[in-house]
Structure formats: C-alpha cells, structure tokens
Amino acid sequence: MKILLYISSIVILLFTGFYLYQENIAPGWRSHQRAYLDKLENKHYLEKSQVSYSFPIKLRQIYLQEMNRVDRCVSCHVAMEDPRFEKETNPLKVHPGKYLKKHDPEKYGCTICHDGQGRAVNWKDAAADEPDVYWTKPILRKPFLEANCYRCHVDLLKETPDYNLGKQYFETSGCLGCHKRDGKGGFMGPELVGIGDVSAHIKYPEKSFDPAILSQLNGNPNLAYIYEAVRFPGAQPEDTVMFDFKLSHEDTRALTVYLKSLSMHQTGTYRLPLKPVCPLQIIEKGKKTFQLYCTACHGNNGRGGVRNPNYINDYIPRLNTLSEQMFLRKKKKQESVISILDEFDDLLEAGPQSDISGFFKVVAKYMAVKNIIENGRVAEKKDGHGPMPLNMPTWGRSLSKQDVASVIAYLISVY
C-alpha cells in the first residue's frame, strides 16, 4: 500500500512539475518573444546589447477597465505595430491595413474586434474555436469579422462589403414581417438582436450540416446555425415558417455577417453617432417601410407571387392594384391623394376634397385598407381541417400613423 502511495505521489509531482514548466518556463509566448528579439538582432534593427534591454521577455497584456477586458494577445503578437515586420508570418507580423492608426490597441484592445478569449496565453484557448473548447466567443475571421465593426460604428463602412450587402438584403426582404429587431417587427419569429451571442449549446446546426460549408464558417457553430437557418430553413424544427428565399452561398454569407452583428454584448465604449440624414419623401419612406415589413409576404413592389398553404386563394394577396381598388385610375388623382397623405397622414383628417371625384368612395376603401394594416386579418382556410394559413399580422402597435400612411401612398404609386 505504501509503495502504491509513493508511486502515485511521484507521478503527481512529475505532472505538476511538467505543468509548471510548460506554463511558466517554456510557454509559447516566450518562444515568440525570443523569435522577435532574434529577428530584431539578425536584421540589425537593434544592437545585440540593446535587444534584451529594450524588449524584456514577459507576459504582456492590455487592461481595459471600462470594457472589463484583459487582452493578452500582445504576448504573442508582439510585432503587430511594427511596420518592419510586414512580410513576416503570424504571430510575428504587423497588423494588416491601417486600422491601428484609428484603433489604438491600448484604448480598444483586440477582442472587441476579433472576439476570442483575451485572457488566454496559448493559441488553442485564445482562438476558442475547437470542438473541445467551450467559449461563447470563438475568434472571428474575414468576412465575419466585419460584424464586430458595428459594435461601435453606426454608418456603413466601405471596408465591410459583406455586412453592407447583408444589411441591404435584410432591409429589403421583409424580414421584420415575422421577426423583431430591437423590439420592433412581427411576432411569428424570434427577436434577432442577440442572435449573434447565442450559445452553441442552445442553437446549433443539424449534425448533418455540410462539413465543407462549416469549414467556410471558421468551424463556428453560432455562425453555422445562423447560416443554416437562412439558407436551409427546412432543416429547422417542423413548426418553423421561415420562407425559403433560395439564396446563394455568397448572399447567405452576407446575411450571416449582418445577423452576427446583432449582438447584445456591451463593449463598454460609446457607439459613434449617426451622421445626419435628410428626411425621406413620403413615397420613399413608404417603400422603405414596405421593404422592411411586407416584401417577404406580398412580393417586391407588392406584386405578390408568394404561396400561402391552405389559404382559400392559394396566394398571399398582391398589392400593386391598390390604386385601382381605391378608384384612383388617373395619375393626377393618385398624386392628389398622396399629397393629402403627406400633409395630414390620414385622408379623414383632410376633410372633403371637392377636386377629387368620388372622394367618399376613395375614403371608404382607404379606411378598409388602413384597418387591415393596423388590425390584421385572418386568412380563410381552403380545407377546414387543414393547417392554419398565414394571417395578416396586426401592425397598429409597431407602425406609426405616419408609417401606415406612407405605405399606402407608396402602394398607390406602384400601380
């Protein structure tokens, strides 16, 4: 028994000694810093006597109290601000581009842009992107790295083409008809702000998800879940009513970048202010609102073409015939009604208009359309025992009076 105890004690001491040696005497960051010093000396950037004095080997970190961050990435990436190391390989390579000129690492750190585990001192834990490492923020690479720019920036940047394209798709495809963004939108789908933070243990792609696609998503399960939900909605649970938009890989990737940016994570630094923009004209405002909330169901420009299973008319109604339904067949008459909506936000508040023939018939149809937008409408079933078709949602609480008026004005204009 004593012999077994001695042997086990020796084994424990050996393992402890090995661990202490690996962590304190021969960690990877020490070898990277030594390599950096060797290059400084070999390239004659510094004299041999100056090297160790000017750059002592030690554990380095950036402490950002306001952001509650400790980033030790600089223990290995010691040359990230040294332009002489442009042609070297990571981690002994200068940071690409001119980003650090406006993003001082001492002020912003590294993980605010790149994610990863800032406190780690080895690559496996820092990248946090291997299956057996369970950090919630694996390191991001291009183009998904673009998502984190909008933790601080508000206006679009020319350096983020995938994000820009993804946001354009999102805001012109009627996604808010089902989903909410910052609490505003439909009720059939989940709130999207926070989807970029969801744990891979709660939301994850199907086990059969294409390994080739997963490799293009950095092996990041959160990105894979977002990508699959957008491109392959049929892979989601059976009660999912997400439309299949038949998106290409490139378009889905762009949408994934945008959705990844919808994070609830607080950076600890202020977002940059939005540049002032000119107010939109009523038809432009109506078009933007329609694209945000209505396009997915009613089609581009209200042209329809979207099937509604078990609905008595098979298809969700098209809306580009609204001017005709409102007895506005002449362009001049259409322009007069749009002008009234622009001024009063409501035909009733304008009072009788003698220059618009059949004004009260126009108002009656207008009130019916306005009521459907604000209060919704139940879609009649074709088969009483079949599934429930998609209903018109209630938008009275989500859209302002001006929003509703602008949408109607836009639909009148797209006859």
Query: Two tokens at 21?
Result: 């040696």
Would you place residue 377 in the very low, low, confident or very high pLDDT band (cuts 50, 70, 90)? very high
What percent of the chain lies above the pLDDT cut of 70? 89
Whole-number pLDDT of residue 238: 61
Residue that wins the pLDDT comparison between 131 and 68:
68
Q: Does 130 have pLDDT greater than 80?
A: no
Which pLDDT score, from 0 to 100, does residue 132 have?
A: 60
Question: How far is CA 68 from its chain centroid?
Answer: 23
CA dihedral 372, 376, 380, 384 (to 10 degrees): -160
* Residue 16 pLDDT: 60
pLDDT 10s digits, 313-350: 999 999 999 999 999 989 999 999 999 999 999 988 88
- The whole-number average pLDDT for the span 217-244 is 80
pLDDT at 282: 96
Percent of the chain with pLDDT over 90: 51
C-beta separation of 71 from 64 below 8 A:
yes
Instruction: Give the mean pLDDT of the chain.
Output: 86
Return the structure tokens found at 239: 């009660």
Q: What is the pLDDT of residue 131?
A: 62
- Chain segment 10-40, per-residue pLDDT in tens: 767 765 655 555 555 557 899 999 999 888 8
Output the pLDDT for position 346.
92
> Is 354 a residue whose pLDDT tops 80?
no
Distance CA 192, CA 329 (A): 41
Strand partners, 392: 377
Cα Rg, the chain, nearest whole Å: 29
> In this predicted model, what pLDDT tens digit does every residue of 178-230 receive, in sequence order?
999 988 999 888 899 989 888 777 777 877 777 878 888 888 888 988 999 89
According to the 3-state scheme, what is the secondary structure of 60-125?
A: CCEEECCCCEEECHHHCCCCCCCHHHCCCCCCCCCCCCCHHHHCCHHHHCCHHHHCCCCCCCCHHH
What CA–CA distance (Å, rounded) separates 151 from 167? 15
Q: Hey, what domains does the chain have and what are their CATH numbers?
A: 2-127 (no CATH), 144-260 (1.10.760), 283-413 (no CATH)
> Looking at residue 240, what is its pLDDT?
62
Nearest Cα to 294, choosing from 373, 348, 358, 239? Answer: 373
